[in-house]
Each structure stands twice: as C-alpha cells, then as structure tokens.
Structure 1
Amino acid sequence: MPSESAIPLDSFVTFGDLLKYLRRRARLTQREVAIAVGYSEAQISRLEQNQRPPDMATLTALFVPALFLEDEPLAVNRLMELAAQARGEVLAPGGVVTFSSSVRKETKESVRVEEETQTNLPLQLTSFIGREREIAEIRTLIDPANGKTRLVTLTGSGGCGKTRLSLEVARQSVRVFRDGVWFIELASILDPALVPQAVSLTLEIHEARGDSPATTLTKFLSAKHTLLIFDNCEQIISAVAHLAEEILRTCPHVHILGTSRENLNIPGEVLFRVPSLSLPASDSVNSGIVSQSESVRLFVERAQAVLPSFELKEDNIPSVIQICRQLEGMPLAIELAAARATTLPIQQIAARLVESLPLLTEGRRTLPRHQTLRATIQWSYDLLSEPEQVLLQRLSIFSGGWTLEAAERITSDSSLIPAERVINLLSQLANKSLVIVEWKPKGDARYAMLQTIREFARERLDAAGETETMRARHFDYFLITAQQGEPRLFAENSSLDWAEMEIDNLRAALAWTLEKDSTGNPSDERAGLGLELM
C-alpha cells in the first residue's frame, strides 16, 4: 500500500500510537487485524493503548504483512524500534532485533509448543459419560484408513450433546491425523462472509494478498492430513456448506466433523443423529443395574460435583429414574437438574419436573448460549422463519406425536400456513432437529417432539393467544376421526390400532371438554360426543 506521508514516522514516540496510525492508514478495523494475526480485538486494543508489550516474532511474521508494510522498510524499522523499546529491548543497527535471554527463551518455548501441539481442543472440566457406541461409529466413519466419508454432520436438538460428543471423538482421533484436529467454534459468527476467516484464525493462517480468504485457506490445507470440527453451523449453514464443499473438493486429505441442527446438504455428507442418553427401566430398584444407564451415570456424577455427599440409594433411585426419564435422556437438561441438588431434595426435583422449564431456567453463568435449557431452545427457536415458529407452536397441541394428516388439518390456516405448506415446513423443523420423525413398520411416518421442546412451544402458543383455538381444532379432528373409525373396530386395519397409537391425543381431547368452565362450556352435544373418545 502506498505510503501516506502526512505524518512523519519519527513523530511517533510509542508503539501503540504508530500501530494505530498504520492500521487506520491501511483502512483496517481492529477486528480485521485481530483475525489476520490471530489475536482478539481486546488484545489489539491493549497494544494500541500501550497496555501490553508486543511480541517481536509475531510482529515481524504477521503484523507487517497484515498492515501491508513489506515494501516499506522505513515504516517497519520504526515499528520494530518502538516495539523493542516497549519491551525494554535493544534494536540492533539495520533493523535486526537483539533478543535478551528471556525473549529468546520465550520464543523458543513458543516454537516448541507449536511444533508439539496438534490440536486446539478445549480442556473439559467435567468427565465424559457413556456414548461408547456412538464414538466408535463416528470414528470409523471419519478414519482415513477406512475411506468411508470425509464429512460427518452430527445433528440433534439443542442440549442433546452434539458439541461434547464431537470433542470426545476429536480427542480420541488426534493421533490418527498427521496434522492434528482443530476445533472451530462458529456460534458467535453471524456474518457468513467471516466463516473462512474464522477457520483461518483458528489455524493461524495469514491471508495472502490478492487471494480470497477461502482460497488462502484451501491452499494452506491442500497438503494437510487433518480433521476440522465445525461446531454450531446452523445460523450460517449456507456459508459453512459452501466452504466445506470447497475444502473437500480441493484438499484430499482433510476430513470435517460438523455439529448442527440441520444437515449441510452437500455431496458426500453422512448424517449422524445424536441420540439421547440411555434410560433406566422405570421399575428398576437395584442401584447396580440403574447405574448402567448413561443418563443416571451423568446425573449422579454431576450431582456429586455440587453435592459430594450425594449417593444413589434405595430411597432416591425412583426419583433419579423419574428425572432421567422425564428429561428423556437429554444431557443438558439432566446436568441442569443435577445442579439443583444443592437446593432441592432429589424427590422434590422429580416432583417439580412436571413444569421442568421454569425449574431449570436458572443455569450455570459461564455457559454462553447454553447456560439454561430455556436459552438452548430459545436460541433454536429464534433461528426459525415466522411460519416455522408458528407451526412449531401449534404442533405443541399434540400429545404423544401426530401424523401429517393431523398436522395439515389442525395447524393450517388460510394465509401464513396453508395446508399444502405443512409438509415442507414440517420437514424443515425435522431437519433442524426440533421435530423427530419416526418410521413405522408399514412405512408410515409419525412425528413427535421431545417433551422439553414441546413445553417451550406450548408456552409460545399460549403467549400468541392461540391455545384455545388449537385445542378446539384438536378436539374436532380427533372426535370426527373417532366417529368415522367406529364401523372399523374389528376390521383388519382396526380403528382400535389407531386409537391405541393416538391414546395420548384422545385423552388430551377429552380432557379439554372436562376443563371448560361455565363461561366457555362446549355444547351438550359436543360434550356428549366427546365421551366416544373414551
């Protein structure tokens, strides 16, 4: 970049002032410089305010090209002089830095650590529970020796443990990949254009002049044997998919493990839906047998982390089982429930989980975005389009699942969600892990929601003022269907089979007729016909 001589370089007397001038001259923001050199914005700010000494090796290798100074030796020399001054070092004639023994030791140690480190995986503060089968399956899929696939996407609802599972797989795979495994956290990236820079920042790649960020990245990775973990892709799914496809196309030895509520939908992708933790039998009483359940093991260990005296005993086994089963083996929900062991007896936690979301609202302060179960679901909900949000709310009216026909009849309207759009919207909710698709033996699909997600959606339905309307439609649909099925009670495709499958919906429909007070009482005819649902 051409030199702008409006301010003489020797007029700057501190490193921070000159750095700020050169950054602004290059028309770069602190964030852009931070991405280029692998620092945080706060670190750049402190450098410019002379609140921290610069690292000479980083300054030479990264800051000089980032500020377009390769062809400006005078600017480089002055910058290095002020940097050495800030460190208390002496810059030798000709611009060569003379390191003190402490700086030489620091530089050597930095290089040694960089050579030995083959991963940036964050240190986990709690143990990993269970998932042995899932870990083995995923590792088999991504192992280069097997050649099965180079892209695996872990999908599932918020709080089901996708990130933690990916980290455990990565930890066990470090030695499989010559150039290591690298964890790229994408949750904070909202601008799709910053995805390549975020990956480059993690890998400490400086953007080459004249190349796009994606090109710089793929050139660097072209000969690497490495595993990249793309975590939390959903809010920038298209940008991640585009970058992942480009990497896989141009870098033959790079493997990618992603976590997302929905798939990337690119060639070669293998989807792996992360299941809930295994549950104990509802009638188990033996602590040894109960402890074999992953969900119970997780609850006990997390409860002991906050209450070391907690033990799984005969008097609390039923409550622990109830908690794990009510929370359907969702790791985040179980951890949040276990954290309440310091303030509530286990029996009370189990009893109050009938209204689980309010109980678990206050979570751990240090978990961004996932600090509470409500925040986890809210985050997923906020990413939906308006029609998807409304449909999710209305689907909460079902108990025990639903069919496509029921969803079309009950949740559709004449404007926002016409009946013909329900199938596409429902598919989107399933792709985003908010709805579960269950395939029946005869090939029919049935849909459901985890209870914690359903409770959240029901609250949103209440807030929208649509609950009574949806309950009335729900009642009418199941009443009419029950009446139409009466002649087929003993047919081959018996309506009794249908009634057994829809028992929870039938009970909910009947309950609605019994809950109405005198101000909103249904007609005697409807109330009488409601008895047929029994």
Structure 2
Amino acid sequence: MPSGKPFVDPHSFNTFGAMLRYLRRQARLTQRELGIAVGYSESHINRFEKNKRFPDPTTVAALFIPELGLSQEPELAARLVQLATPAAQHSPGSNEQPALFGKTGLALEPIPPARPHQIPRPALLAKVRSRLLADRHIVLYGIPGIGKTTIAGDVARELSGRMPVFWLTFTPGITTSADVVVRQIAEFLLAHGHVEVKPLLVTDRRLKAALSLDQQINLIGKAFGRQPALLCFDNAELVQDEETCLQILQHLCATTPAYLLLTARDCLSLPDFSDVPVGGLGCEEGLAFITQSVGHPLDEKQARRLLEKAGGNPMLLRLAMGKLANEQIDLETFIARLETEPQVAAYLLQTIQKRLSPAAWRLLLMLAAFQQPVNLYDAYLVELAQTLGDIDHLGEATTELQRRSLIDNAAQAHLHPLIRDYVTLTLNVDMALRQRLHRLAGDWFRDSNRDGLAAAWHYSSAGLMDLAVDEIEENKDAIISRDQAGPAVMILDEVQNQIKRLRSDQTNLLRRLLVLRGILLTGTLRVAEGEADLRQALSLASSPAVQASIVCHLAEVTNQRSDFLETLRLVHSVQAQIIPDDLLLNARLAVLESVANDMLGNTVESARNAYEALALTDRMAGLPQPLVAELRARAQFELAGFARSQRNLASSLSHTQVALASARLLANRALPTCA
C-alpha cells in the first residue's frame, strides 16, 4: 500500500455505501465534489452511501476508482467493484447466487444474476447459444455498456443445469495474472471433485514453482477431459497482451472439451475462437426498456429518438433515464444534447477516448467531422488524412476502431449518433484542428465525391468562406434540380454571419453570396426574399457588367410576378452601359425585354428584341452550347408567338420546330414558364 494511508482490510466492509463513504472521506471529497467528478448529482451520491441505490459496477470501475485514488490500491478497488455488483446486494427471495467457496476457502465468482426488470433479448440469446454450442469457443464483443456481460450471464445460467459453469471477471492488477487464473480454475475443479489439481493450490511457493506452466495447464486439461464445463471470462480485453493467460485459454481450446465464452470490448481475433458482435437493443426491446425504466413520461416519438441517439446501448440508456427519473427537464433539449450530460460524457470519456491511441482518436475526430459515411480505403482520403489530418497510419487506426467496435464497415465508416456528437463536442474545443478536418472533408467532397453542397458546408465550418461560396456557385444548377435550395441557403446564411463578424472589407464576397441566395430562392415560396437579396446585391455592384448580370436574374423574378414594366425599367437601366462585344449579356437582356414586351402587348417590339437576340447568338461561337441553345430557344418561342398573332401559322410552326431543336441541347434544363 502507498505510504501515508492507513491500512484497511477491504473485507471489513460489508456494504457498498459504507465503503464508498469511507473512501470518499479518505480522499477528502465532499459528496458534491465526488458527484461532479464522476458525473452524478450530490443526491445520487447520498443515496449510494445509504445503500438505497447502486451504480453499475462498470461505472464504478471506470469512474469511481480513479477519482477515489484507488488506481494503485487493487484490493480496495476490487472490493468496491464487488460490493457494487447485484450479487453483493443479495436479498432473501431473489434469484441471485451467493458466492461459491472451494474446499480451500477461496471464493469463486458466481454467475452474475439477471438484472431487475431485465428486458429479454431472445433473438440475441438464441444466436449466442447456437454459436457457443456449435463452435465451442466464442468471444462476445462490443462497445462498453452494450450488454455483453448480461447476455453471457443469461447463457451461463441457462446452461448451468447441463454442466458446471465457471465465471471469472478480469480485473486489472487482481485477476489478470496467469497465476490467479490457474488458481481460480483449479479451485473450481477441486470444488467439483477433481482432486488431481490439488498441487496447483498449495500455498508454499517453492512447491508450486516446481510445476512449470505447461505442467499446470496439463493438470487442468486432464480434469476437464473427465468433465466438460462452461468457462466464462468477462472483460477479456484486459488480458489480450498477457501472453501466459492467452496460452492457458488456447490450451483449453485445443486439448479439452470445455466450452469457452469470453466477453470483450474489442474484437480479439484469437485463434480457435469465433467472434460474435453484440449490437444495441432492437427497436421493440429498446422501447420496452425505456418504458419500464423511466419515471418521466416519454411519448413514443421521444422514446425512439432517445433510443436512436444512444444507439440502443443499455448502459447509456440507463444513465440517461437516471437523469429523467430524478429531475424535471425539457425532454427535447435533453435528448438533443444527451452527449453533454455529465454522467454520459464522463462515461464516454472513460470508456472510449482514454482507451484509444492518438492516431485512432484523430481518426475518430475526422469521422465525426465528416458527419456521414465515408470510405476509409479511398486513396485520395488516405492522402488528405496524412497531409491535413496528421493521421500517418490510417490503416492501423482504422483497424483499431474496428477492433473496438466503434466502426463496422471501413468502406462505409460512420459513428453511432451519441459517440459522433460527443466527439464533435470535444472537437469544438480545438478550433484549429476542427478547421483542418473540415477543410479535409471539404476537399474530399469537392474532388472525389463530387458533392458540392457537402463540400460547401465543410468549407463554411472551416471558416473558408470564399471556397464555400465557390462550391455553391459552381453547383447551383444541380442544387436547384435536386431541390436542395433550402440547405444551400442555410450554408450561405452561416457564411453571411461569418462575414458580419469580420472587420475587413468583404463587399465582393457578400455581393456574390446575395446573388446566389436570390437565385436559389427564386423557385421557392421565399421568392420575395430572394428578390430583396438580388436588389441588395445590385446596390453593391460597381462594374456595369456585374450590374447587368444581376439585372438579368432580377428581371426573371419580375417577369415571374408579372411586373413587366419593372422588367423593362431594369433592362433599360443597364443596357446603355454594356459594351457591344459582351454578346451574352446583351442577348440575355434582349430576350428578357422581348418577353416583357410580348406580355405587355408590344408584339412588334417583342419580335425586334427576339431577332436582335438571335443575331447575337449567331456570333457566340466560343461560348458553351447550352447557354446559347437556351437563348435561341427562348427567342424562337417569342417569334413563334408573334407569327401566330399575325396568323402566319407556317412561320409559327417553323419557329417552334427550331425552338424545340435548340431545347434538346439543354440537357433537360427546363425552359422558363414565361417564355
């Protein structure tokens, strides 16, 4: 024991509450201070110390032990965790099993009892039972709190009527050594009449040292050869680097008929073991779990949102519902910001963040920044991860996240919602890293995935306002055709807010933004808002060509709302300033003027405008064909209308046919309804 602390016998404590109160006072912590440190309220700690409620043993091991200064006190730590287990809270009439003592007096760990009000998971139970009986040696793996120990306990209790069941929970510094594993298994065998293992239980170190590890394992193997059993090892990830422990397990697999059931937070990929992933509660299971566990009323929609946010993880749901049961809170806000709740955040910190290597944590941050599934095998992404994300060994980091069940398919890698939101929350603290990762995502969506809207969002999140506007400007036609104008406008609004916070002159960027916003809103119910944006952009433009370009967009809006006189006023206000060689702008203005005159009954003037536009398009040899084709189609439709008004049906038909031929070049671009 470290100096400065009085020796205390861990077994002098019979209740969790008494031991917690003693250790808290020894650590010089108030109930409030301990509660803040481990993510519980002061009233929770008070109830724990009065044995009115008990925290989950996993939470005790992950959160309480470090805060109480027990990291170097393995015996005290183990006793505190033991007292938090349901078996230690045994009461008459319950179905919990008391600890079994072997013939040497050494306590054998009982099978964990079923939790009160435990929700059955029949499909998962049947799957695990079937795999165990077929493969004989399996590892249940999944993220912390997903229910691995619970389902393993269910299987163990079910099979305990058919064969002896051994259970050992690996605890750091206490039960993770080969010597302890051998001794516990030998005590179990002796309790079931296998006297040949007595040499493994001698207390004289010299006598025991006379047996090599291979000889000790052989004795155990011979005993199991006479009587098959189920051996369960919980928290097996703690011994994945303990070569001698793994040697014992592998020898048992190879030489005995024993069934081995391991649980682990990581996919261990051990020889002779089948890996069985454990996912969250199914929809119906989760809803039943929430309904019976929470005192605060949740409607089905809220329950489904909570279940989705927690990924069906029973531990996370239990932490969330503990909060709901004890406090009057706003449910919608609570569910939306679940990752910020102290208990949940502390649990995620201890069980996820602190267990990852720096490269794996950086990859987790990158996936959180992407906000959607991404292919981690993509060569360009690997390059970006190295140059912008500082992830030098992406393959190794990917393997680590898969092993720890944080991602499944690396070709469609994504995080479950609560982990994603928690990681995003931590990312917000490091703005420089956050901006680099969003820049990385923006480059990938722009260059590899060809998703301009996603690229723009990431560039906006990185503070790269010019690039965000560039992407929406370049992809505006595709954005409109996919009915994505709303999300695009939201990105532009965020960029506009960023512009307002800057003290430098951003007039040109703001003008471009307002034009885009106006164009995107033109085809929506917010068209009036879009027209206001275009007029504001027009007031910021100083170049005649830029003014004329904005007027072209604005005139489309005024034609759309049948204000044709305003269209003519706008067109005439800029026509004189445009140089004759600017063929495209002059042709666009002529077409808009033709439409307005036609609708006002000025058919002759309308036809003159249309012929003028056609003459200009004949000189546009180097311009993109779709632009030229659209102008020609609109002008020809106007001339067809003029010919009909003159009762020249042959001419009208001819102009219509030419217009349709031009329209076919537009690659499915819709003709304006006012044409």
Within the alignment, does 1:478 sit opposite 2:452 as a pair?
Answer: no
Q: Which residue in 1 is equivalent to 2:286?
A: 295
The answer on 1:323 being equivalent to 2:306 is yes
Matched, 1:174 2:160: yes
1:456 matched to 2:441? The reply is no
Structure 2 contact 445–451 (Cα < 8 Å) conserved:
no
Which amino acid counterpart does residue 389 of structure 1 have in structure 2?
A: W
Secondary structure of the corresponding residue to residue 412 of structure 1 = helix
Structure having the higher helix fraction is 2
Find the counterpart in structure 1 of residue 258 from structure 2: 254
Paired residues for 1:31-70 under 5 Å: 42=10
> Where do 5+ consecutive residues of structure 2 fail to align?
2-7, 14-98, 188-199, 203-207, 454-477, 522-675
Q: Which of 333, 352, 364 matches 1:351?
A: 333
Residue 382 of structure 2 corresponds to 408
How much has 1:273 moved relative to structure 2? 0.8
Find 2:240's aligned residue among 218, 237, 252.
237
Deviations 1:204-240 (A, max 9, x none): 3626342245753552243321212221122431325
Unaligned stretches of 5+ residues in structure 1: 1-28, 30-39, 46-108, 280-292, 363-371, 439-444, 487-495
Shift of 1:119: 7.2
Structure 1 residue 227 and structure 2 residue 222: aligned? no
1:446–1:484 distance in 2 versus 1, CA, 3 Å:
closer
The alignment partner of 1:256 has SS state of: strand
Is the Cα contact below 8 Å between 1:323 and 1:350 reproduced in 2? Answer: no
Deviations 1:192-213 (A, max 9, x none): 6x14514633653626342245
Q: Matches of 2:184 and 2:520 in 1, distance apart?
A: 61
Residue of 401, 416, 437 corresponding to 2:409: 437
Counterpart CA distance in 2 for 1:131 and 1:454 is: 26
Q: Kindly provide the CA deviation profile for residues 45-77 of structure 1, in whole angstroms up to 9, marking residues without a partner as x.
A: 9xxxxxxxxxxxxxxxxxxxxxxxxxxxxxxxx
1:272 is matched with 276
Residue 156, structure 1, aligned to residue 161, structure 2: no
Flag the structure with more relative contact order, 1 or 2, with Cα contacts below 8 A and sequence separation at least 6: 1
Instruction: Give the drift of 1:127.
Output: 3.2
* 1:96-115 superposed matches below 5 A: none
**Which residue identity does 1:165 align to in structure 2?**
I
Secondary structure of the 1:436 match is coil
Which residue is equivalent to 1:446?
412
Q: CA deviation at 1:249?
A: 2.1
Residue number in structure 2 paired with 1:206 = 201
Q: RMSD between aligned alpha carbons?
A: 4.5
Does structure 2 conserve the Cα–Cα contact (< 8 Å) formed by 1:160 and 1:331?
yes
**Cα deviation code 1:313-337 (max 9, x no counterpart):** xxx2322222222222111111112
Report how far residue 506 of structure 1 moved: 9.4
Q: How many residues align?
A: 375
Q: How far off is 1:474 after superposition? A: 1.7
C-alpha separation in 1, matches of 2:290 and 2:488:
34
SS in 2 for 1:448: coil
Aligned equivalent of 1:524: 509
In structure 2, the CA distance between the partners of 1:510 and 1:233, relative to structure 1 (3 Å rule), is: farther
Matches within 5 A, 1:72-83: none
Query: Could you say which residue in structure 2 is the equivalent of 1:367?
Result: none
Q: Is the 8 A contact 2:236 2:263 kept in 1?
A: yes
Q: Give the superposition deviation at 1:125.
A: 4.1
CA distance in 2, matches of 1:211, 1:508: 73
**C-alpha deviation, 1:122, in angstroms:** 2.6
Counterpart in the other structure of 2:113: 123
SS at match of 1:158: coil
Structure 2 residue 310 is matched with structure 1 residue 338: no
Code of the aligned partner of 1:150: R
Task: Provide the residue aligned with 2:639 in structure 1.
Answer: none
| Cross-structure match for 1:417 | 391
2:350 alignment partner in structure 1: 378
Using a 3 Å threshold, how does the CA distance of structure 1 residues 185 and 513 change in structure 2: closer, same or farther?
Answer: farther
Q: Distance in 2 between matches of 1:428 and 1:508?
A: 36
Distance in 2 of aligned mates of 1:430 and 1:181: 31
Match of 2:123 among 122, 125, 133: 133
1:410-429, Cα deviation, whole Å (9 max, x unpaired): 433389523xx313321221
| TM superposition shift of 1:298 | 0.9
Query: Percent identity over the alignment?
Result: 17
SS in 1 for 2:369: coil
1:402 is displaced (CA, Å) by: 1.2
Alpha-carbon distance in structure 1 between the residues aligned to 2:368 and 2:169: 32
Q: Which amino acid aligns with 1:343?
A: N
CA 1:530–1:191 in structure 2 vs 1: closer, same or farther (change >3 Å)?
farther
SS of 1:396 mapped into structure 2: helix
Residues in 2 aligned to 1:248 and 1:452: alpha-carbon distance in whole angstroms: 38
Aligned equivalent of 1:290:
none
Cα 1:210/1:223, change in 2 over 3 Å: same
Letter of the structure 2 residue corresponding to residue 129 of structure 1: I
Query: Which amino acid counterpart does residue 232 of structure 1 have in structure 2?
Result: N
Give the 3 Å change call, closer, same or farther, for CA 387–159 of structure 1 in structure 2: same
Cα displacement string for residues 293-313 of structure 1 (whole angstroms, at most 9, x for unaligned residues) = 10011112222xxx4xx677x
- TM-score, scaled relative to structure 1: 0.59
Deviates most, 387-396 or 195-204 = 195-204
Cα displacement (A) at 1:510: 7.5
| One-letter amino acid matched to 1:265 | S
Asked if the contact 1:300/1:338 (under 8 Å) is kept, the reply is no
Offset of 1:42 from its aligned partner? 3.6
Contact 1:394 1:461 in 2 (8 A): no
Q: Is the 8 A contact 2:389 2:436 kept in 1?
A: no
Cα distance in 2 between the residues matched to 1:480 and 1:246: 52
Q: Distance in 1 between matches of 2:498 and 2:383?
A: 23
| TM-score normalised by structure 2 residue count | 0.48
Deviates more, 1:517-526 or 1:459-468: 517-526
CA contact (8 A) 2:139 2:263 kept: yes
Structure 1 pair 481/416, CA: closer, same or farther in 2 (3 Å)?
closer
Kindly indicate whether residue 366 of structure 2 is the aligned counterpart of residue 394 of structure 1: yes
Aligned to 2:151: 165
With over 3 angstroms needed to count, the CA separation of the structure-2 counterparts of 1:391 and 1:226, relative to structure 1, is same
| Deviation for aligned residue 1:484 | 8.1
In 2, are the aligned partners of 1:186 and 1:230 still within 8 Å (CA)?
Answer: yes
